[in-house]
Structure 1
């Protein structure tokens, strides 16, 4: 996230400094020669912010940058212009294709229940969110294709047996799996944002020639959508798999000691209450570290989701069910608009040929597939290691928001 914000701020602050200095390899030498020999005045005016060529639009930055773009386009051959149009087609289809490969907000929300840091990295490493249907309130296992399907067992059961066994190499294998997951996630994040930054400064969006932030903004928006999905998942479900690890007993003891301290304020009860609080904090930290850096396939206790009972509104505040419905509809609409925005940004990219566009699309696809592979491994591990989702759900009429 820090890398994304740093590059986004750098991209925004680059205006009007970095455009028309660097180009993609395919057109780089030719465009650099044209910029130096034929369009030096227009490009210099753009860098200096001079609007002499736009008397009727003196305050319109896109007019200044448009003069430089028009000059470069005038000195391109028709073959290169056709190649540029083909590259726009390749990149224009990219967001829709990636949406078929990418992860959904339900998947990232489920993973964030136990491994929030890994879920954050996987969300940041994939530029597109798999869209959800509007106004469909289905269970989390129906949002995640194959979440309760038996086909995961064939793939992950053997690995689960090896990791759960008592053989000497168990901890080393688990550590290796965790390291590979984070390396893939970090590599996907670095590849995505470096590539988005290059696309921002080496190419130009035809609908906003004076800006350099649109490709980076498109990537960052996906992270925000996944964050909304994680919030929606917590409004809808709770993890009951931690009930057996002593956490609930610590909370109950803390509440009992707090009540006792309120009735009998003596030094012994206050010390006892503080000790319980410190013990609870230590337990929270240890539980976070254990779950974050342990593959889901061997976590104990395993993730068990059950529906939350909707809270009744108090003081004019909406209930959790209403908030969940509003947030879910907003996320569904956001994923659709995000794909449309990405299509607009990518299809309008200028000064990149087909070969460079294919390489760019392949790099986007690699980041998305890497994040998808790690996500599928984690979701499959949860399926293999835990009882069926919803086994702890309330009975009919209890906690249903339908």
Structure 2
């Protein structure tokens, strides 16, 4: 039993190394415009891995630097793959919900006694972390479309197209251009708050799992295997979507303070010449 508690105590840290980071789900939500799938993958993967602040820009730039060679027959299967992705995410969530229900009702803990919701709280607290990660990326980037899919039109038509894109294969999405903005104070505040939540999530899970009583090593292995299964399934789906996103992103550039200063100087010079 002591060995089972040790292994279970390490489970949140192990899952964090295998799981998705808020930056990756944020790219699927903010850049790819697939917040529904990103939310389902975040809910089905009860593990959060944090990146450093400068790695936000590096992760985005990797979309343009890496090439993804996709077999031709996979392109024809894209609609089927989209359905399978949502089914896989739903299955991962169902696995986590059923496991947390069993743990809350059948397992005793040394710290959280008479409370059955702590396992659910730990499992889905990562959704909040991923949400703040998406907000941080939104503050750091500006995404524009290069096609005509979103030009003009009524607001309801725009929302209708955005809803349709949730189930549209990534390879058929409109080409995108990404502008990486300067790091603002609000971005740093949201980023550090996201990191603090990530650390608290790992510590909370470590305390909760290591305090489980009267559990055998065999049961501990089953728990870890089920958690890892959900994490790995969501990881595979997210990796595949981000690989397809590289085919859609056609340009990435940085907005620097020097460029803003030069633009301001040129504008001021043009205004002075106009006055003359």
TM-score between the two structures when normalised by the length of structure 2: 0.85
Q: Which residue of 1 aligns with 2:23?
A: 106
- Cα displacement (A) at 1:231: 1.2
Determine if the alignment matches structure 1 residue 97 to structure 2 residue 1: no
Determine if the alignment matches structure 1 residue 363 to structure 2 residue 267: no
Write the distance in 2 (CA, Å) between the matches of 1:149 and 1:347. Answer: 42
Select which of 83, 100, 107 maps to 1:179. Answer: 83
Deviations 1:330-361 (A, max 9, x none): 11121112111111111111122110110110
Write the distance in 2 (CA, Å) between the matches of 1:147 and 1:243. Answer: 16
Helix, strand or coil for the counterpart of 1:187?
helix
Deviations 1:352-385 (A, max 9, x none): 2110110110000000000000010011111233
Select which of 142, 146, 150 maps to 1:247. Answer: 150
Write the distance in 1 (CA, Å) between the matches of 2:191 and 2:9. Answer: 27
Q: Which residue of 2 aligns with 1:140?
A: 56
Write the distance in 2 (CA, Å) between the matches of 1:206 and 1:144. Answer: 43
Aligned residues of 1:291 and 1:299 also touching (Cα < 8 A): no
Aligned residues of 2:103 and 2:119 also touching (Cα < 8 A): yes
Taking only aligned residues, the RMSD between alpha carbons, in angstroms, comes to 2.3
Select which of 278, 282, 293 maps to 2:167. Answer: 293
Select which of 109, 114, 120 maps to 1:205. Answer: 109
Write the distance in 1 (CA, Å) between the matches of 2:139 and 2:157. Answer: 24
Q: Which residue of 1 aligns with 2:265?
A: none
- Asked which structure has the greater CA Rg, the reply is 1
Write the distance in 2 (CA, Å) between the matches of 1:146 and 1:309. Answer: 18
Write the distance in 2 (CA, Å) between the matches of 1:99 and 1:191. Answer: 18
Write the distance in 2 (CA, Å) between the matches of 1:191 and 1:110. Answer: 25
Aligned residues of 1:103 and 1:372 also touching (Cα < 8 A): yes
Q: Which residue of 2 aligns with 1:283?
A: 157
Kindly tell me: are residues 348 and 303 of structure 1, through their superposed partners in 2, closer, same or farther at Cα, counting changes over 3 Å?
farther
- Cα displacement (A) at 1:147: 4.1
Deviations 1:170-214 (A, max 9, x none): 3xx221010110011000111012111211111012012222222
Select which of 50, 55, 76 maps to 1:131. Answer: 50
Aligned residues of 1:115 and 1:292 also touching (Cα < 8 A): yes
- Cα displacement (A) at 1:300: 3.2
1:211-360 alignment to 2 at 5 Å?
Answer: 211-240=115-144, 242-245=145-148, 247-248=150-151, 250=152, 279-296=153-170, 298-308=171-181, 321-360=184-223
Kindly tell me: are residues 382 and 305 of structure 1, through their superposed partners in 2, closer, same or farther at Cα, counting changes over 3 Å?
same
| Length, aligned pairs only | 259
Select which of 121, 124, 127 maps to 2:40. Answer: 121
Kindly tell me: are residues 212 and 300 of structure 1, through their superposed partners in 2, closer, same or farther at Cα, counting changes over 3 Å?
closer
Write the distance in 1 (CA, Å) between the matches of 2:126 and 2:9. Answer: 17
- Cα displacement (A) at 1:233: 1.3
- Structure 1, gaps ≥5 residues long: 1-83, 165-169, 251-278, 311-320
Aligned residues of 1:157 and 1:384 also touching (Cα < 8 A): no
Aligned residues of 2:141 and 2:181 also touching (Cα < 8 A): yes
Write the distance in 1 (CA, Å) between the matches of 2:35 and 2:260. Answer: 25
Deviations 1:90-113 (A, max 9, x none): 211111111111011111111012
Kindly tell me: are residues 382 and 228 of structure 1, through their superposed partners in 2, closer, same or farther at Cα, counting changes over 3 Å?
same
1:60-75 alignment to 2 at 5 Å?
Answer: none
- Cα displacement (A) at 1:143: 4.1
Deviations 1:70-108 (A, max 9, x none): xxxxxxxxxxxxxx2221112111111111110111111
